[in-house]
Structures are given as structure tokens and as C-alpha cells.
Amino acid sequence: MATEDPENRGDKRRGSNNGYSTTPSSYPIEESETQWTSWLVPIFVVINIAMFIVVMYVNDCPKNNSGFQGNCVARFLGRFSFQPLKENPLFGASSSTLKKLGALEWDKVVHRHQGWRLVTCIWLHAGVIHLLVNMLSLVFIGIRLEQQFGFVRIGITYLFSGFGGSILSALFIQNNISVGASGALFGLLGAMLSELLTNWTIYTNKAAALLTLLIIIVINLGLGILPRVDNFAHIGGFLTGFLLGFVLLPRPQFGWLEQRSVPTSTIPIVRSKYKPYQYVLWLISLVILIAGFVVALVMLFRGENGNHHCHWCHYLSCIPTSKWDCDEIN
């Protein structure tokens, strides 16, 4: 996951504007909005690391005839040693261990009524490399967003995006397990994009910010077409976060903020906290979000296969080439 911060707000200066920072476009950004202390995202990181340690402790690397851990990697770690690289090239546990501890598995979700796997899989990772990449991305993206918007909105975005990614993954990938926080992370990227769009007027260098963010998103989604990568979780998380950004992350318009700090006789009265287009985007996004979750969950627990309704969608997760066959790998 790329971690660049493309949203350049320009220089922030405390001057005579009653505690607000001004940009060249004369739209202030309240400095208190950037003063949240980030504690939830670090907790998420700790939980993910702790869950990986639990997975590796429970994992039992196969032993040879002499009772030693045959082809296991880093055997000096004892029971924390990794599965053979042919089985798990990401330096992690076996598939059976991940299944035991809550990996997303379509059959168990639908036929054994284990819907909780749609949530638990978000906190599991296939290996050290998988964990490291996701946690670094979460730190760089999540802490910045939590500092700006607070733990409630970012926590909701992260968790619901992960849930949305799990639902879409289960609808389209029914023969393999899925783990990882990537869906939740893509949700944060989606929220960054919708936040930029819904608060468009307060940004400087907005075109450059939009272009940079779109490039980051396209590159990361593009990597999802490689084998062994669950791009449906990425797409589901991204769409959920994108819609939640319009619902949870709009900023009050300039006049509303200013009239709270200066005499109203000196500025025009702004009666609405948000601009009309922000209300429209809020309503449309909320309706689509609720409808999408309801329809997707109904389809999932009825046992439907998303590929039967979209015959080309499997290419979104893996494109076959002369180097690999998606059916054999996935």
C-alpha cells in the first residue's frame, strides 16, 4: 500500500483570523480539527500484531520422521517458526491454523452460520510480510486521518470498510480463505478521496492532490489483479470507505465557522453549516451504503455466487497470463 499524503492544504498560519488557518483560496481550516490525539489507530496496530503472535503460537509446523520441524523456516523460533515457503511464501502460519482462528471461508459463513468470520478475518494476516506492509500503511494513513477527524469517525470508517471488503470477497471468492486488513485500509483511501471531493473548496492545489491520490489508488488496485491477492476485499473496502467519507467527513463551510468567532454584523450570516451539494452527497451516499450492505448480505447468506451475476468480474481479482493460471492458483 502506498502511503504518500497527497492532500496539500498549503501553508497554515495563525494570524488575525481568530484562530483559523487561511489558504490562498481564503477558505479557513479550523486548527482545532488537527489537534486530535491518535490513540485508536495505534491500538488497532497492537491488536493486529497480538493476533499474529497468537496465530503463530497456535500454528504447529509439520515435523519430519525424526521429530524435528522439517522444512519449517526459522526453526530456532521453536513453535513460532514459519510454514515451509512452498506452502506460505509470506512467512506465516498454515491455512488450517488461519481457518481455525477465524479466516474468511465462504462455506463456513453461509452453511455453518459463522458470520463472525466476516469480522475476525480483518485482524488476521497470512505472514510477516503481509502484516508489515499493512501495519505500515495503517500507521501512515490512519494516524493522519485520526488526527484530523477523531477516533469515532475514523474507527467507524476502518471497521465498516473491513466488513464491506469481507462481504464482497465472500460473494466472489468461494473456494479459498481470505485474511488481512487490506479492505479496511482501502476504505481509508476511499474516505480520503471522498473527503477531498466533498470539501473541495477549502483545498489549495486541489487538482494535484486529486491526481496524486487517484494514482495511488489505481496502483494499489492494479496490484490486486496479481494471483494470491484478494482484490475483491480491496474493492469492497474502497467503495465502503468512499461512501462513508461523504457521510462522516464533510467540513463546515467557511462562513459558518467565521461567524462563530466574529461579530455577525461584520460578515454575511450563513444559516447552513454545510453547502447544499454536501447535503446531497451525504444523502445519496447514505442510501447507497445501506442498500448495498442489505443487498450484499442477503445475497451472501442465500448462498449466491457473485460471479453468476457478473461474468467478467473475476478479472478484477486475477488476470490469467502465460505465467500463471488463476483457476489453479486461486
Q: Which helix (H) or strand (E) holds 30?
A: strand 29-30
What is residue 24's three-state secondary structure?
coil
Cβ atoms 148, 34 nearer than 8 A: yes
Residue 234 backbone dihedrals phi, psi, to 5 degrees: -65, -50
Specify whether 261 is catalytic. no
Of 182, 194, 285, 317, the catalytic one is 182
C-alpha torsion sign, points 138, 139, 144, 147? positive
- The number of C-alpha atoms within 13 Å of 113 and in the hemisphere containing its C-beta is 0
Distance between CA 204 and CA 14 in Å, rounded?
17
291 Cα distance to chain centroid: 20
Of 234, 285, 314, 317, the catalytic one is 234
What is residue 270's three-state secondary structure?
coil
Specify whether 111 is catalytic. no
Distance between CA 122 and CA 179 in Å, rounded?
6
Tell me the catalytic residues: 182, 234
